Chains A and B, each alone.
Chain A
Amino acid sequence: NAGVTQTPKFRILKIGQSMTLQCTQDMNHNYMYWYRQDPGMGLKLIYYSVGAGITDKGEVPNGYNVSRSTTEDFPLRLELAAPSQTSVYFCASSYSSTETGANVLTFGAGSRLTVL
């Protein structure tokens, strides 16, 4: 049972380049999320999905896009990389949002992105 798998672990991009961060979970979770973590700023939600075919914006969606064609996969796309997108990106998944106390987010190991 791998949990939440993110690739790549590290990537350096030039300004204006595009790339996709991959996220796969094998726990059959219906909810998936992308957060970014910046030093001293905690984790901020970029996008989330409540199931295949359904996505919604979080707190900081500008400059990013997502898709959810399957339950397992939730890729994050950066179209025109900017230095402000230098960050550590975490994908997470959870089974349920409506059961009180049952919303355990399982995180991946993170993808460190640097835009130069």
Chain B
Amino acid sequence: QQQVKQSPQSLIVQKGGISIINCAYENTAFDYFPWYQQFPGKGPALLIAIRPDVSEKKEGRFTISFNKSAKQFSLHIMDSQPGDSATYFCAARMAGQGNLIFGKGTKLSVKP
């Protein structure tokens, strides 16, 4: 299975709150799991990424949690800010290939 399932489709969080976006996959041949952030009218940009041999990666307010046995990974945004309002995509890469398989995206709105 090549699919990456992402939820929720949309998310509203108050300023200062924690935003959590979840993704699940079936194919154990995936070897790289990035998250992309997209602002309206712009192309997606890499936010943070993780390999399956690591359970957690943190960069500033953004953390990826990875559960290899459950084949799930999630993005946590701590102290969410209005400037974080964007669409977030999880993705996965098949080992030995270059292209990414994307989830359907989560539109995050952070209310002041």
Residues on A facing B (Cβ under 8 Å)? 4, 31, 33, 35, 40-45, 48, 50, 58-59, 90, 92, 94, 96-98, 100-101, 103-105, 107-110
A34 to B5, CA, bound (A): 21
Complex Cα spacing A104 to B91, Å: 11
Q: How far is the CA of A96 from the CA of B100 in the complex (A)?
A: 12
Which residues of the other chain, B, contact A110 by a CB distance below 8 angstroms?
41-43
Contacts of B46 in A (CB 8 A): 104-105
Indicate if the CB atoms of B41 and A103 lie closer than 8 Å: no
Q: Judge whether B99 and A48 touch: CB under 8 Å.
A: yes
Q: Is B98 a contact of A41 with CB atoms below 8 Å? A: no
Which residue of A31, A96, A98, A107 has the most chain B CB atoms within 10 A of its CB atom? A107
Q: Closest CB of chain B to A97's CB: distance in Å?
A: 3
Please give, as numbers and ranges, the residues of chain B lying within 8 Å of A44 by CB-CB distance.
Answer: 102
Can you list 14 A-B contacts (CB < 8 A)? A33-B99, A40-B9, A40-B105, A42-B102, A42-B104, A43-B44, A48-B98, A48-B99, A90-B44, A97-B96, A100-B51, A103-B32, A104-B49, A109-B42
